[in-house]
Amino acid sequence: MASLSSSNSVLFVFCIAVINSLIAASAGNLNQDFQITWGDGRAKILNNGELLTLSLDKASGSGFQSNIEYLFGQIDMQLKLVPGNSAGTVTAYYLSSKGSTWDEIDFEFLGNSTGEPYTLHTNVFSQGKGNREQQFHLWFDPSADFHAYSILWNPQHIVFSVDGTPIRKFKNLESKGVPYPKNQAMRIYSSLWNADDWATRGGLVKTDWSQAPFTASYRNFKANACVWSSGASSCGSNSVNTNSWLSQELDSAGEEKLKWVQKNYMIYNYCTDSKRFPQGYPPECSMA
Ligand SMILES: *[C@@H]1O[C@H](CO)[C@@H](O)[C@H](O)[C@H]1NC(C)=O
């Protein structure tokens, strides 16, 4: 009996290991998770699904979207942005629902002249209303290597992180009358496009097409998320640990890092733009 149960437990452990490796493998295959949506061959999934590239030339940009819709999640992706003179290019990486009262959580990377810093632009839309921009410079060159850009979206808050460092938190303040994205499933979208009419100090610097094609790369996508399908949400509750993100709060170390980024790297905050809000700031600004 003893030997039977011990061989069963060996078999059990073996099966768990196989299942885990299958989950890990599928999480790493961009072919399964995404589809190219536009760009006429300018977007490519390479190396058996390990790498995705978007490119932009004078004729067109390109883009992709997730196959799955999510309703809450911890969503991680590594990006390597357009190197060199990227002024005028914009790489957008965001979550969005559909319809006229959509929700959206945005990362947008505004390129710059060689050696000048990218601007990381963030925004949160709830029920079709955005106007919540915060912009940052980064503490590294985001075009030199891959870095992780993450969105934690749970019922309590939305946290934007870069390489695990929180840069922005948008709290659920529904109880104070601020709409919060929580009822509409969102897909992941990304695109690389030309925005030299506005992205570079209001269109002052033009895209240098002699440097085209411009390329941004993606890898190591991972989503611990609730998947929305046929009108129902499933959070894959096979393991308590994998869903800890659903109730995750920033710990005090996370709050400290967030403060550090906001103090040293934030270059624009709608909550301090008094010219823009002469009648008073949006309510979440005083409650954050
Ligand atoms: C480009 O760099 C300049 C100089 O550092 C900076 O003022 C500007 O905000 C940057 N532009 C973008 C689009 O990031």
Residues of the chain above pLDDT 70, percent: 88
Distance from the CA of 106 to the center of ligand 1, in angstroms?
Answer: 19
Per-residue pLDDT for 13 more than 60? Answer: no
Per-residue pLDDT for 45 more than 60? Answer: yes
pLDDT of residue 49: 97
The ligand 1 atom at the shortest distance from the C-alpha of residue 116 is 2
Q: Indicate the top mutation candidate among 82, 108, 114, 116 to test ligand 1's pocket, ranked by most ligand atoms within 8 A of CB.
A: 116
The better pLDDT of the pair 266, 15 is held by 266
The better pLDDT of the pair 194, 23 is held by 194
Of the listed ranges 101-110, 161-170, 214-223, 226-235, the least confidently predicted one is 226-235
Residue 270 CB partners (closer than 8 Å, separation 6+): 131, 132, 133, 134, 276, 277, 281, 282, 285
Q: Indicate the top mutation candidate among 119, 137, 206, 266 to test ligand 1's pocket, ranked by most ligand atoms within 8 A of CB.
A: 119
Q: Are 101 and 127 in contact (CB under 8 A)?
A: yes
With a Cβ cut-off of 6 Å, ligand 1 is lined by 110, 112, 116-119, 199-200
Domains annotated for the chain, with CATH where assigned, are 6-287 (2.60.120.200)
Per-residue pLDDT for 153 more than 60? Answer: yes
pLDDT of residue 15: 39
pLDDT of residue 12: 43
Q: Are 107 and 94 in contact (CB under 8 A)?
A: yes
pLDDT of residue 198: 81
Active site residue 284: no
pLDDT of residue 14: 42
The ligand 1 atom at the shortest distance from the C-alpha of residue 110 is 13
Residues of the chain above pLDDT 90, percent: 79
Residue 195 CB partners (closer than 8 Å, separation 6+): 88, 89, 90, 110
Which tens digits make up the pLDDT trace of 47-105?
999 999 999 999 999 999 999 999 999 999 999 999 999 999 999 999 999 999 999 99
Q: Which of 50, 69, 104, 116 is catalytic?
A: 104
Cα 71 from chain centroid (whole Å):
14
Q: In this structure, which long-range contacts are made by residues 277-281, counting pairs with CB atoms below 8 Å and at least 24 apart in sequence?
A: none
Structural tokens at position 220 = 């190591």
Segment 106-127 mean pLDDT: 97
Cα 280 from chain centroid (whole Å):
30
Per-residue pLDDT for 152 more than 60? Answer: yes
The better pLDDT of the pair 205, 39 is held by 39
Per-residue pLDDT for 266 more than 70? Answer: yes
Q: Are 104 and 96 in contact (CB under 8 A)?
A: yes
Rounded distance, CA 175 to CA 181, Å? 13
Which tens digits make up the pLDDT trace of 122-149?
999 999 999 999 999 999 999 999 999 9
In the structure, what pLDDT confidence band is assigned to residue 207 with cuts at 50, 70 and 90?
Answer: very high
pLDDT of residue 199: 74
Per-residue pLDDT for 228 more than 80? Answer: yes
Cα radius of gyration rounded to whole Å, the chain = 21
Per-residue pLDDT for 3 more than 60? Answer: no
Amino acid present at 224: N
The ligand 1 atom at the shortest distance from the C-alpha of residue 118 is 14
Region label for 43, one of left (φ > 0), alpha (ψ between -120 and 50) or beta (otherwise): beta
Active site residue 108: yes
- Using H for helix, E for strand and C for coil, what is the string for the chain? CHHHHHHHHHHHHHHHHHHHHHHHHHHCCHHHHEEEEECCCCCEEEHHHCEEEEEECCCCCEEEEECCEEEEEEEEEEEECCCCCCCCEEEEEEEECCCCCCCEEEEEEECCCCCCCCEEEEEEEECCECCCCEEECCCCCCCCCCEEEEEEECCCEEEEEECCEEEEEEECCHHHCCCCCCCCCEEEEEEEEECCCCCCCCCCCCCCHHHCCEEEEEEEEEEEEEEEECCEEECCCCCCHHHHHHHCCCCHHHHHHHHHHHHHCEEEEHHHCCCCCCCCCCHHHHHC
In the structure, what pLDDT confidence band is assigned to residue 241 with cuts at 50, 70 and 90?
Answer: low
Q: Whole-angstrom distance between the N-terminal and C-terminal Cα of the chain?
A: 61
Rounded distance, CA 165 to CA 259, Å? 10
